[in-house]
């Protein structure tokens, strides 16, 4: 098996298609923003925060999001959003990432002082300024930097998640919790479609995030139908805390182009309802369906290890079977701060723990670019992907990597 050096991993053009803005701040920026806004954090220095909230491992998927209450609290201003978006792109570029697709739930960040459009404009401007600066500075023969934004609806929230959700819940006091969740999701879908139609903000997709267990994708079917009419792309967090049926819902009910995590895709023991097929056949057919449509799985290794206590070693991660089944997969960080990771770390982990040939690695890289929700017209996307792969080949040759 060919060894891939850290220098090679760093140099090759990469994507991060699954990275949460509010989970990926620099820790120093979080502390600084909190101080400026007069918001108190559970600790005032990096070591303290790492000990209390941004840990190396979490007890479960429920403990993992605790830190988001702090990060979203400091992000509710245009300056803060601009800054973290700009820094996120710069930190990624320093690792050789050429394209990021940044996601977040706008309704967690909106307030009376900050409208949906202002949130989106601030993030877009931060990413845009970083991209333009990077493109001006890069050598001419290297591929261009670019970005997209994905808006996340929440599978679950309560009134205390944000000022917006508080107001929304208060205004719908006669609605059930499910109706409130579906309603806020549909409102976001409308906002996203209008933003896409009337601005040049690089909004490219819609996502469903948050607690999966007990909060089915079907509550968001109307939202996904609406964003499809607006020609936006669709991804769904699925199979992270729930089994194959959740992934089935994402790809059939919500017509997802990509799946966030997909960790439990092969877990027949997590099938709860009865189906036409026996569990083994159900999973085989589902995997085939996903493979044939090139529905891409956004794999987040570190994050899954941290939130899934049953997953004892990385070698047991379903990424192995995804590779065996020739699925379209891309490596992502999920949350750089909350998971204490980076894209180069994720590649190192993947290459050290799974049988990945030079050919496989190039495919994984290519899927990231090809299956991105690239904002610009398709001919431009084709030329850009071609330039990325040519550049990859040059680097592979330079580093003596043989396919």
Binding mask 283-322 for Zn ion (x = CB under 5 A): ----------------------------------------
**In the range 78-107, which residues lie near Zn ion by CB under 5 A?**
none
Name which of 72 and 169 has its Cβ closer to Zn ion. Answer: 72
Tell me the site size for Zn ion, rule CB under 5 A: 1
CA distance 24 to 83: 12
Q: Tell me how far, at minimum, the Cβ of 84 lies from Zn ion, in Å.
A: 16
Closest approach of Cβ 103 to Zn ion, in Å?
Answer: 7
Check if the beta carbon of residue 301 is closer than 8 Å to that of residue 346. yes
How is 79-131 classified by DSSP, letter by letter?
HHHHHHHHHHHHHHHTTTEEEEEEEE-HHHH-BTTB-HHHHHHHHHHHHHHHH
Element (H, E) at 367: helix 358-370
Q: Which of 239, 225, 357 is nearest to 290 (CA)?
A: 239
Q: Which is closer to Zn ion, CB of 53 or CB of 401? A: 53
Query: What is the helix (H) or strand (E) element at residue 305, kind and residue range?
Result: helix 301-307
x/- track of binding to Zn ion for residues 193-212 (CB under 5 A): --------------------
Window 236-265: contact mask with Zn ion (x via CB under 5 A): ------------------------------
Residues 323-352 touching Zn ion, rule: CB under 5 A, are 334
CB 222 within 8 A of CB 259: no
Q: How far is the CB of 186 from Zn ion (least distance, A)?
A: 21
- For the segment 2-31, give every residue that binds Zn ion (CB under 5 A): none
* Minimum CB distance to Zn ion smaller for 16 or for 334: 334
Length of the chain: 403
- When the beta carbons of 86 and 104 are compared against Zn ion, the nearer one is 104
Backbone conformation region of residue 38, classed left if phi is above 0, alpha if psi is from -120 to 50, else beta: left
C-alpha distance from residue 162 to each of 69, 107, 159, 184 (Å) = 9, 7, 7, 13
Q: Quote the least distance from Cβ 275 to Zn ion, whole Å.
A: 27
> By beta-carbon distance, which residue lies closest to Zn ion?
334
Q: Which one, 53 or 385, has the nearer CB to Zn ion?
A: 53
Question: What distance in Å separates the CA atoms of residue 180 and residue 185, rounded to the nearest whole number?
Answer: 8
* Distance of closest approach, residue 298 Cβ to Zn ion, in angstroms: 8
Closer by beta carbon to Zn ion, 121 or else 212: 212
Check residue 115 and give left, alpha or beta (phi > 0: left; psi -120 to 50: alpha). beta
Pick the closer one to Zn ion by CB: 83 or 155.
155
Q: How far is the CB of 334 from Zn ion (least distance, A)?
A: 5
Separation in Å, CA 7 to CA 43, 95, 96, 394: 35, 10, 10, 14
Min CB(23)–Zn ion separation in Å: 8
Residues that bind Zn ion (CB under 5 A): 334
């Amino acid at each position: 098996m060919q060894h891939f050096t850290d220098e090679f991993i760093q140099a090759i053009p990469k994507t991060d298609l699954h990275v949460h803005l509010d989970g990926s701040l620099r820790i120093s920026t979080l502390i600084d923003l909190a101080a400026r806004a007069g918001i108190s954090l559970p600790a005032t220095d990096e070591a303290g925060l790492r000990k209390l909230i941004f840990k190396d491992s979490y007890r479960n998927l429920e403990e993992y999001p605790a830190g988001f209450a702090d990060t979203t609290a400091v992000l509710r201003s245009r300056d803060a959003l601009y800054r973290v978006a700009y820094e996120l792109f710069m930190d990624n570029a320093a690792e050789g990432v050429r394209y990021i697709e940044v996601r977040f739930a706008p309704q967690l960040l909106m307030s009376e002082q900050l409208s949906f459009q202002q949130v989106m404009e601030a993030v877009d401007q931060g990413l845009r300024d970083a991209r333009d600066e990077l493109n001006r500075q890069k050598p001419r023969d290297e591929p261009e930097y670019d970005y997209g934004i994905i808006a996340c609806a929440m599978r679950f929230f309560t009134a205390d998640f944000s000022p917006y959700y508080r107001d929304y819940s208060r205004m719908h006091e006669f609605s059930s919790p499910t109706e409130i969740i579906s309603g806020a999701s549909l409102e976001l879908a409308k906002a996203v479609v209008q933003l896409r139609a009337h601005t040049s903000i690089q909004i490219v997709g819609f996502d469903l995030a948050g607690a999966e267990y007990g909060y089915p994708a079907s509550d968001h079917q109307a939202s996904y139908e609406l964003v499809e009419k607006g020609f936006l792309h669709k991804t769904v967090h699925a199979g992270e805390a729930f089994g194959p049926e959740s992934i089935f819902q994402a790809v059939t009910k919500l017509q997802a182009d990509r799946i966030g995590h997909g960790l439990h895709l092969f877990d027949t023991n997590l099938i709860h309802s009865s189906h036409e097929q026996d569990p083994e056949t159900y999973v085989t057919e589902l995997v085939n369906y996903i493979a044939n449509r090139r529905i891409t799985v956004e794999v987040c290794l570190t994050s899954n290890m941290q939130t899934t206590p049953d997953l004892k070693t990385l070698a047991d991660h379903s990424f192995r079977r995804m590779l065996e089944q020739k699925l379209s997969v891309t490596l992502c960080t999920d949350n750089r701060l909350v998971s204490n990771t980076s894209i180069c770390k994720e590649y190192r982990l993947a290459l050290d723990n799974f049988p990945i040939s030079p050919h496989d690695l190039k495919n994984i890289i290519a899927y990231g670019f090809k299956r991105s929700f690239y904002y610009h017209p398709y001919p431009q996307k084709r030329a850009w992907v071609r330039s990325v792969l040519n550049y990859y080949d040059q680097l592979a040759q330079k580093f003596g990597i043989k396919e």
